[in-house]
Structure 1
Amino acid sequence: MYKQAFISENPYDLVILDLTVPDGMGGLETIQELLKFDSKVKAIISSGYSNDPIMANYKDHGFCGTISKPYTKADISEKLNKVLREKY
């Protein structure tokens, strides 16, 4: 879906990826795939495991920010606004 949007006239502004997806592709694997065709992807990694090394070193893995679960509407709003304002 991201790739289709990327090549269309309506690309995504930002994606939020869950670090762990049981029986699926987690955030780290997903960001690696997205970066192959969009080096400027804005992605936030989300997890309930705030002590995970990927959460601590998110920029090293291509993410623009983190948000720990559980989060409130205010938390997500603040994080989205911050990431969308910054230039990467």
Structure 2
Amino acid sequence: MSEQERKGKILIMDDEDMIGEIACQMLIHLGYDGHHVKDGEAAIEEYSRSLEDGVPYDIIVMDLSIPGGMGGKEAIGRVLEINPDVKVLVSSGNPADPIMMQYGDHGFKGAINKPFDLASLQSTLDSLI
């Protein structure tokens, strides 16, 4: 699939390399370009860089919590300061977390439970693109 045929550009923030790599492979399969970073600081830097380059990410998927680092819970506010219209999904292995259940109250546009599969990833992204 050529760059022009791609559906969008997605930034995945997850501290686990395997999850980030698998998510990027799923995105490629679904017709998106994916890029993986390990924590909130890196996500903020990468998103800012993409805006400066004139090719911003269409959606950011942020892991809710990153042990020893900045997770989505903390990073969402900073990303919204950069661009209040950015579409950010929160992901977590704990679907009962209050932020996962009330994601809109925290600035997120949606939530996706980990581990996510191809169908849930596709339907969640398609609802935002």
TM-score, reference length from structure 2: 0.63
Q: Are residue 5 (structure 1) and residue 71 (structure 2) matched?
A: no
1:46, distance to aligned residue in structure 2 (A): 0.2
SS of the residue corresponding to residue 120 of structure 2 reads: helix
Separation (CA, whole Å) in 2 of partners of 1:76 and 1:18: 14
Q: Are residue 47 (structure 1) and residue 92 (structure 2) matched?
A: yes
Q: Are residue 57 (structure 1) and residue 102 (structure 2) matched?
A: yes
Amino acid at match of 2:47: Y
Amino acid at match of 1:21: I
SS of the residue corresponding to residue 127 of structure 2 reads: helix
Separation (CA, whole Å) in 2 of partners of 1:70 and 1:37: 29
**CA deviation map 1:26-56 (0-9, x unaligned):** 1011111101110001000000010101011
1:68, distance to aligned residue in structure 2 (A): 0.5
1:7, distance to aligned residue in structure 2 (A): 2.5
**CA deviation map 1:14-34 (0-9, x unaligned):** 000000111111101111110
Instruction: Choose the corresponding residue for 1:71, options 108, 111, 116.
Output: 116
Larger strand share, 1 or 2? 2
Residue 128 of structure 2 corresponds to which residue in structure 1?
83
TM-score, reference length from structure 1: 0.90
Moved runs in structure 1, 4+ residues, more than 6 A? none
Runs of 5+ unmatched residues, structure 1: none
Amino acid at match of 2:50: A
Separation (CA, whole Å) in 1 of partners of 2:108 and 2:82: 15
Separation (CA, whole Å) in 2 of partners of 1:69 and 1:5: 26
Q: For this pair of structures, how many residues does the alignment match? A: 84
Residue 24 of structure 1 corresponds to which residue in structure 2?
69
> Whose RCO is larger (CA < 8 A, sep 6+)?
1
